[in-house]
């Protein structure tokens, strides 16, 4: 069922929803993390959002509903479930709003989400997201205590529904080949692997989340809100140049300010079309 802005019920036979895909945290097509953005002309049900996200079959589909000037309601769905925070789909949505002149680039956008109000701004050609810091606590994983699929674990931390495992070096992060069933059994929502960087980047990482329908996420904004906390506690650094070493790869600039994390990245629009939703 659909509701018009005045609150009255409207049931169209066929509804066309604009769907756009954007590669986030990259300026190169076919790299970074692709997200779908669905611009909602009406409110739709949570079940409908989940069906659309499953049909798009990307790590996240963002659903945007206009609430006012530079103000949007934003929800994120994987192919199997809703998530409470997603960086790359937020960056993709903000990029679309700014570049398609649906929002004023000289003013921040505010997204109303399940993680509170999140701001996005255009800063020197980058989309900058203002996200909450995700706190981490040093701990030992009850299964991946010494090794993670053949690579030595040199540090670990717990965060809400996820883990961080620190490996020895970038090659260890790059060469990990998870056994998905084993990883799913021994993780709740997902697991981040990371290592100290080299002359190119301050840190490297990858993110696996088979229990929410994503074996490996190409580039993960929320994970860097936790990685910022983890590496700040270890090194004292408040800014990081980060690379997520998935097959597609992606770059992020990450900065800590009090209890907020500022994520900067670029994006590329890849596809635009209409999805026909038929209601029987």
By the 10 Å C-beta count (0-12 exposed, 13-18 middle, 19+ buried), 91 is classed as buried
Strands 71-77 and 2-3: unpaired
Please state, in angstroms and rounded to a whole number, the distance separating the CA atoms of residues 108 and 114.
Answer: 19
Burial code of 33-43, b = ≥16 C-beta within 10 A, e = fewer?
Answer: bbbbbbbbeee
Active-site entry in 60, 128, 166, 251: 60
Residue 60 a catalytic site member: yes
Please state, in angstroms and rounded to a whole number, the distance separating the CA atoms of residues 94 and 103.
Answer: 9
Please report which helix (H) or strand (E) contains residue 231, including its range.
helix 221-235
Phi, psi dihedral angles at 240 (to 5 degrees)? -140, 140
Please state, in angstroms and rounded to a whole number, the distance separating the CA atoms of residues 146 and 75.
Answer: 37
- Cα end-to-end distance, the chain, whole Å: 11
Q: Which residues are catalytic?
A: 60
């Amino acid at each position: 069922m659909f509701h018009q802005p005045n609150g009255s019920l409207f049931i169209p036979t066929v509804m066309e929803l604009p769907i756009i895909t954007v590669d986030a945290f990259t300026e190169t097509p076919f790299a970074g993390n692709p997200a779908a953005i669905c611009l909602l002309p009406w409110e739709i049900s949570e079940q409908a959002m989940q069906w659309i996200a499953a049909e798009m079959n990307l790590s996240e589909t963002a659903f945007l509903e206009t609430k006012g000037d530079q103000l949007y309601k934003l929800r994120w769905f994987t192919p199997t479930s809703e998530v409470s925070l997603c960086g790359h789909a937020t960056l993709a949505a903000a990029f679309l709003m700014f570049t398609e002149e649906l929002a004023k680039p000289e003013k921040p956008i505010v997204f109303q989400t399940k993680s509170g109000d999140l701001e996005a701004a255009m800063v020197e050609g980058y989309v900058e997201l203002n996200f909450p810091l995700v706190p981490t606590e040093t701990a030992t994983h009850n299964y991946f205590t010494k090794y993670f699929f053949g690579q030595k674990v040199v540090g670990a931390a717990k965060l809400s529904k996820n883990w961080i495992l620190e490996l020895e070096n970038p090659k260890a992060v790059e060469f990990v080949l998870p056994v998905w069933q084993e990883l799913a059994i021994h993780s709740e929502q997902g697991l981040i692997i990371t290592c100290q960087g080299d002359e190119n980047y301050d840190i490297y990482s990858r993110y696996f989340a088979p229990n929410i329908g994503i074996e490996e996420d190409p580039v993960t904004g929320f994970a860097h809100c936790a990685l910022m906390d983890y590496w700040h506690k270890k090194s004292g650094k408040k800014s990081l140049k980060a690379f997520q070493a998935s097959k597609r790869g992606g770059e992020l600039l990450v900065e800590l300010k009090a209890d907020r994390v500022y994520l900067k990245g670029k994006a590329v629009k890849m596809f635009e079309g209409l999805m026909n939703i038929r209601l029987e």
